[in-house]
Amino acid sequence: MMTDNQKIGNDGENIAASYLIKKGYTILDTNWRYGHLEVDIIAEYNGMVVFFEVKTRTSNTLGSPEQFVTKQKQNNLIRAANFYFTKKHCSQEVRFDIIGILQKGDKVELTHMEDAFQPSW
């Protein structure tokens, strides 16, 4: 049984995937896991592999959805990307994007932050 938060998150990821496909991205994986690490969406765009964190909220009272991507979450995404590249034997350029979705009833606001953060390796 899915909790309300899980349903909201799943809905947001589906909205984000549809948006990306319309923008010309090729979805490679969704909800990709390595141990306890998870990447919401992995896509390819112009020869680059893009790792997406999707944050969905029903209210922006405490801040915009994308503001909830903590430094720890960013570090986890970077670690997951390292594992993904090793496992898939990839050597393409990489980018980390955040998609924030504010969903109030039928109204959806989507914010796509390209190159939202950089790994410090």
What is the tens place of the pLDDT at every residue in 53-86? 999 998 888 888 888 899 999 999 999 999 998 8
| Angle, CA of 38, 42 and 45, to the nearest 5° | 160
The answer to whether residue 90 scores a pLDDT higher than 90 is no
Here the tokens at position 75 are 């570090």
Q: Supply the pTM of this predicted model.
A: 0.92
Task: Give the integer Cα–Cα distance in Å for 34 and 68.
Answer: 22
| Angle, CA of 60, 65 and 66, to the nearest 5° | 140
Provide the residue count of the chain: 121
- The domains located in the chain, with CATH, are 4-113 (3.40.1350.10)
Task: Give the integer Cα–Cα distance in Å for 5 and 74.
Answer: 21
